[in-house]
Chain A
Amino acid sequence: MKIALVGQPNCGKSTIFNSVAGYRAATGNFPGTTVRLAWSTVRLNGVVAELVDVPGIYSLTSNNPAESAAKKFLLNENISLIINVLDASLLSRSLELTLELREMGIPMIVCLNMMDEAERRGVRISSQELSALLELPVVETIGYRGVGVRELFRQGTRQINQPLRPAEFIRWHRDVETSVEQMQGVIESNAHAHRLPSRFLAIKLLENDDDIFRETGPEASDTAVRLRAQLETTRGRPAESVIMSERHDRAMRLFEQTATVTRPHRDPRATLDSLLTHPLWGYVFLAVILVGFFWAVFGFGSMLENAISGRLDLLTTYLLAQVPKGGLKHALIASLMDGVQGGAGIVLPYLVPFLFGLAFLEDVGYLPRVAYLMDGLLHRIGLHGTSMLPIILGYGCSVPACMATRILPSRRDRFLASVLATLVPCSARSTVIFALVAFYLGPMWALGIFCFNALVVIFSGWLLARVWPEISAGMILEVPRYQWPTFRMLTGKVWLRLREFVILSWPLLIAGSLVLGLGAYWNFDHYANVALSPLTLILGLPVVLGTTLVFGVLRKELALIMLAQALGTTSVATVLTATQIVVFTIFITFYIPCLATLVALVKEIGKKMTALAAAYTFVLATLMGVAARLVLPLILGR
């Protein structure tokens, strides 16, 4: 049995999903956070069901891959209950989707979410009246605080297996209604048995929906073409636009019948927003926020690193003192502790504050503002503001960033955005930058690397846009209200992302450290290093770092741990020069995306494009590394 959470983007579906299923689906305050279906088996009032979090859709006509995945699911799966989530503060617009879903004839319940927000906006909704008019149960909720969610599922499960009365109340202007009826007649006369009501199919055909055409056969298609042309001549605009405005009018009427609008409360967020989107101050704040974010992560991170590393060092020294020096046991313990220390002492201290900061920016709703601010600049390099969302998400992890490109309508934009998103230092690479460059050379250097990276990303965007020119279709992006995230939401999200490091990367890291340690013990790593020596030589790095670079392809943070392992010391500055540290970091930052990202890329843009992207990043990394090697000594004076 399937229960689907369906609603417009950013209406809080995932928050409701998580409050029942545990923190499984990433939430965020921007449209298109959920780009794929999330499933969870839940037990609701004695009923075991598959709860499905469906990506947000504005209507059943899709604009991008994320939305068409949602639509396909709704049209083809056998769904027992639709929970239609609405942002109550945007009631009239949200009802348009409700009207569309209502005609599908699937048992349904309406969830008026964000009731607190509606109240603040001065929108009073009578849910009884709405329920009576829609002929559906309506439950009010405040998702992020969990208010009303239990009641929603209690009433929802009661709807399952209850036949839904046809929506007689959705009747349109006579000319449109006549066309719909004629269309319906043709569909019903067809021998095919359809799972969906004929009225729903008829309307979708008049809206020129390709997915439905495939289902209803040629005779219906011919009639649809004729009726659409007829509507177009009488109304003077395309049939789909006629139907959309019918729906719009009906939703508007419902809104007027059930809601009263009084004066909104004064909203301090409006003042904040006028500052953060100001043509001058907006950019100043953007810079301040990014640099502040950077300092905060570094400050917390180095504090934690000092505290944890010191203790772990003591433990390592103690353990090593127990076994004879130079033996296999000694090598084993040393490399094991390197792996443990790498995770707890170097990666986690920076990763945790970084993820918290990013989660906060995402949940507050700042990212769409950045998209707005950057649209002009991005246009110049042949992209548009919406592409900014996946690129910023790339600072967290490249994998969800590549998936987030599904909110972009054009294939070319998806390619560009996913390549650029993989060039941006993800949290693992940021860890390398923080723990190496910031820690040994000072935070200004690390900031410099981030800025340098941003320049290279902009340049790459410009270059790739020239290689694949296409007039970018301009941004249309909803900018949500600011929302103060609850602590539980933040920790849930940070843990969701951290879990991957703790249960997947860290064990891999320890294993990698053991392999390298044993390899060094038996002198195996020598061959790998020799094979990679052309690369290490042009970069001016010690030959022993060859294997490290290979490990970096598995997981980027592995390169850092392996660095310490390969050099035989955790105080890197004693063996590497400042230039070498920077070159190593730059190379690691740019070169071939990690394995998980490559897999994600293949899925999003295909094998050929992924190979191209990997080759491009490798060449770029080598060029940048060599350039840094040549230029830096001049600045550093050595």
Chain B
Amino acid sequence: MVQIVAGQSATRQLAQLGICAGTRLKVRRSAPMGGAILVDSGGSMVAIGRGMARKVGVRILE
């Protein structure tokens, strides 16, 4: 995870769930037809809407 380009409250909400700059994320699932994605961050799973997920900048590690 590199950075989040989103509003204050969304950034905060993600950080509260342990998703902030420097976190390793693993995309577990992505729902079809522009649906949400399911992300594993440090053992907890978070569902993120597609629009929101677009605002999360990542560098692909593997």
Contact = CB atoms under 8 A, between A and B. Distances in A.
B52 A474 contact: yes
B47 interface: yes
A384 interface: yes
A396 interface: no
Nearest to A97: B16
Contacts of B30: 279
B10 A371 contact: no
A123 to B, nearest CB: 8
Contact residues of B: prevailing secondary structure: mixed
A375 B20 contact: no
A92 interface: yes
A474 B9 CA distance: 12
Contact of B18 (A63, A93, A278): A93
Interface string A355-371: 00000000000001001
B1 interface: no
A376 B15 contact: no
A121 B33 CA distance: 33
Contacts of A476: 10, 13-14, 17, 46-49, 52
B47 A479 contact: yes
B11 to A, nearest CB: 7
Contacts of B17: 58, 93, 476, 478
Given A241-B15, A373-B35, A474-B10, A121 B43 contact: yes
A385 B15 contact: no
Interface in B37-57: 38, 42-52
Contacts of B21: 245
A231 to B, nearest CB: 15
Nearest to B6: A474
A375 B35 CA distance: 6
Contact of A385 (B11, B36, B43): B36
A92 B48 CA distance: 21
Contacts of B52: 473-476
B31 interface: yes
B28 A277 contact: yes
Contacts of A61: 12
A93 B45 CA distance: 13
B20 A244 contact: yes
Contacts of B11: 241
Contact of A474 (B35, B43, B51): B51
Contact of A277 (B8, B29, B42, B46): B29
Nearest to B31: A376
A376 B20 contact: no
Nearest to A89: B43
B32 A372 contact: no
A475 B49 contact: yes
A274 interface: yes
A253 to B, nearest CB: 14
Interface string A464-481: 000000000111111111
Contacts, number: 122
B49 A240 contact: no
Contact of A475 (B20, B34, B43, B48): B48
A279 B30 CA distance: 7
A277 B36 CA distance: 11
A248 interface: yes
A59 interface: yes
Contacts of B14: 476
Interface residues of A, number: 42
Contact of B45 (A92, A279, A409, A478): A478
Contacts of A384: 49
A373 B29 CA distance: 10
Nearest to A264: B43
A375 B15 contact: no
Nearest to A121: B43
Contacts of B47: 368, 371-372, 375, 385, 475-479
B49 to A, nearest CB: 4
Contacts of B9: 63, 409, 473
A599 to B, nearest CB: 30
Contacts of B10: 473-474, 476
A372 B38 CA distance: 8
A163 B24 CA distance: 40
A497 interface: no
B48 A474 contact: yes
B36 A372 contact: yes
Most chain B CB within a 10 A radius of its CB, from A90, A241, A376, A476: A476
Contacts of B18: 90, 92-93
A376 B34 contact: yes
B3 to A, nearest CB: 9
A376 B50 contact: yes
A244 B36 CA distance: 26
A124 interface: no
A121 B40 CA distance: 14
Contacts of A58: 13, 16-17
Contacts of A371: 47
Interface of B: 7-18, 20-21, 28-36, 38, 42-52
Given A274-B28, A476-B14, 10 more contacts: A58-B13, A89-B43, A92-B42, A277-B29, A279-B30, A375-B35, A375-B47, A379-B50, A474-B48, A480-B45
Interface of A: 58-59, 61, 63, 89-90, 92-93, 96, 121, 238, 240-241, 244-245, 248, 274, 277-280, 282, 368, 371-373, 375-377, 379, 384-385, 409, 473-481
13 contacts: A59-B16, A61-B12, A93-B44, A274-B29, A368-B47, A376-B50, A377-B35, A473-B7, A475-B36, A476-B49, A478-B17, A478-B47, A479-B38
